[in-house]
Structure 1
Amino acid sequence: MDNIPGLQIRRLQVSDAALYRDIRLEALQKNPEAFGSMFEKESAEPLSWFEARLGTADIFAAFLDRTLVGIAGYSAQENLKQAHKGRLWTMYVRAAVRNMGLGKSLVAAVLDHARGRVELVQLTVVSENESARKLYRAMGFVEYGYEKKALKHNGRYYDEVLMVNFLDPQQQKETHR
């Protein structure tokens, strides 16, 4: 992974709720087409709602010189028949520090966390977000589906690409036969 001076990747704790709330609301406000939730909904939630979320979710954060600059969430399926699958969600890097390798570092942290817990990690990404799709492909994700009109924001529809990373390289090879 890129060696970025001053970079620390760690899982957010409940005590980080105010920081998490700030970056989450920024993400929803600046890139509303990329998320299933809405700024209007989450900005009305009290800090305790964000604390609860951090208490039950694995949300990784990128800190650059101790400033929170990116987040990526991970969750595993709870249904027994789907417990072999994890999900990468709420990926966001602040615009001022994009294209520095922070996204790769966050995705790598999620994948490292998922290894040994699940067999594969899935995600969805807005089809028009080519830079994110390129990042995910570089991190071993492959496209396996396309959902038309997956999201609707301000009267406009957004399609989503479904992607998966098989954490076992042998499984990845078998899937492409």
Structure 2
Amino acid sequence: MGMEVRRLTEDDAESYREIRLEALEHHPEAFQATYESVADLPLDAYRQRLRRYALFGGFLDGTLCGFVGFFALKNTKIKHKGLMWGMYVKESARGSGLAGKMVEAVVDHARDEVEQLLCSVIADNERASRFYEKMGFELYGTERRALKIGERYYDEEFRVKFLG
């Protein structure tokens, strides 16, 4: 199985749109955006997102099977920090090692810009929590009732990886 991780470009907008909608539809608790809020966005909105943010795609045999974003904070007192956000890997690619390669790509990219890499995960997602811990992200806090979908609340764990 051919595995590749690379920064996504505008040429990947259609594939990115497809997998992002899948992520929002199947795992609404894992993202702040909702499927309904982005389902009708034009393809150009995805191109703009790919221009604006560092988004990395994980490919298996040439098919986009995962994505993760990076954003360096800008304000003077917090510009030593960056956010890793929006991580998703298709069910069929889980356990393949692709997620680890995607995080490694973000870490490599982030080292040139920030000293700390932050991420968050829904506390109920034990598999993701274990994965981030294995990747060197330390738990530093939990926000109770961070998200609410319908009548259900979700707690969110906050994690950090020190890069320097």
Asked if Structure 1 and Structure 2 have the same fold, meaning a TM-score greater than 0.5 normalized by the shorter chain, the answer is yes
Where does the alignment leave 5 or more consecutive residues of structure 1 unmatched? 169-177
Alignment of 1:84-163 (within 5 A): 84-163=80-159
Alignment of 1:12-91 (within 5 A): 12-91=8-87
Shift of 1:87: 0.5
Aligned-partner Cα distance in 1 for 2:102–2:152:
29
Amino acid at match of 1:16: D
Amino acid at match of 1:22: E
Q: TM-score, normalised by structure 1?
A: 0.91
Secondary structure of the residue aligned to 2:112 is coil
Q: What RMSD in Å do the two structures reach over aligned CA positions?
A: 0.8
Shift of 1:32: 0.3
Secondary structure of the residue aligned to 1:45 is coil
Shift of 1:44: 1.7
Amino acid at match of 1:131: R
What is residue 172 of structure 1 aligned with on the other side?
none
Shift of 1:14: 1.1
Secondary structure of the residue aligned to 1:28 is helix
Identity of aligned residues (%): 46
The number of residues matched between the two structures is 164
Amino acid at match of 2:107: L
Amino acid at match of 2:43: L
Amino acid at match of 1:153: I
Secondary structure of the residue aligned to 1:29 is helix
Amino acid at match of 1:27: A
